[in-house]
């Protein structure tokens, strides 16, 4: 039951971030849930590989290259899913930042109640 609630809240965070950014388009709440699932899988499987491969660049940029990795993952998810479209790298970067903020707000609101 806890997994379903987290999944629905992740979908809510995705659709909220897409609503706030005009360069990110999503077709509905079901697509947002699918995006949340696929984004979670990519973050669990692809992100660690990309981080290991780019350790020198990440160290040189003091960790800021992680934002680029997040944007690349969002663009990858956008390319394989119908109903989720990102207009470019900068919108993917902005979506990553807004999604992190919205998820943090939702998680803190849940922990308070």
Average of per-residue pLDDT across 74-86: 95
As given in the structure block, the two tokens for residue 22 are 């005009």
Enter the pTM of the model: 0.89
Nearest to 56 by CA among 65, 47, 68: 65
Any idea how long the chain is? 113
CA distance 35 to 24: 12
Task: Give me the pLDDT at residue 107, please.
Answer: 85
Give per-residue pLDDT as tens, 34-73.
999 999 999 999 999 999 999 999 999 999 999 999 999 9
Mean pLDDT of the chain, nearest integer = 93
Across the range 72-86, mean pLDDT stands at 96
Q: What pLDDT, on the 0 to 100 scale, is given for residue 113?
A: 64
Q: Which residues pair with 24 in a beta bridge?
A: 86
Q: Domain residue spans in the chain? A: 2-106
């Amino acid at each position: 039951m806890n997994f379903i609630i987290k999944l629905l809240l992740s979908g809510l965070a995705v659709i909220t971030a897409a609503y706030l950014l005009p360069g990110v388009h999503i077709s509905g709440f079901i697509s947002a849930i699918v995006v949340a699932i696929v984004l979670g899988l990519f973050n669990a499987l692809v992100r660690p590989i990309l981080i290991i491969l780019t350790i020198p660049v990440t160290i040189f940029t003091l960790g800021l290259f992680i934002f680029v990795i997040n944007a690349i993952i969002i663009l990858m998810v956008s390319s394989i899913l119908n109903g989720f479209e990102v207009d470019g790298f900068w919108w993917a970067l902005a979506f990553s930042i807004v999604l992190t903020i919205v998820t943090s707000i939702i998680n803190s609101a849940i922990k308070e109640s």
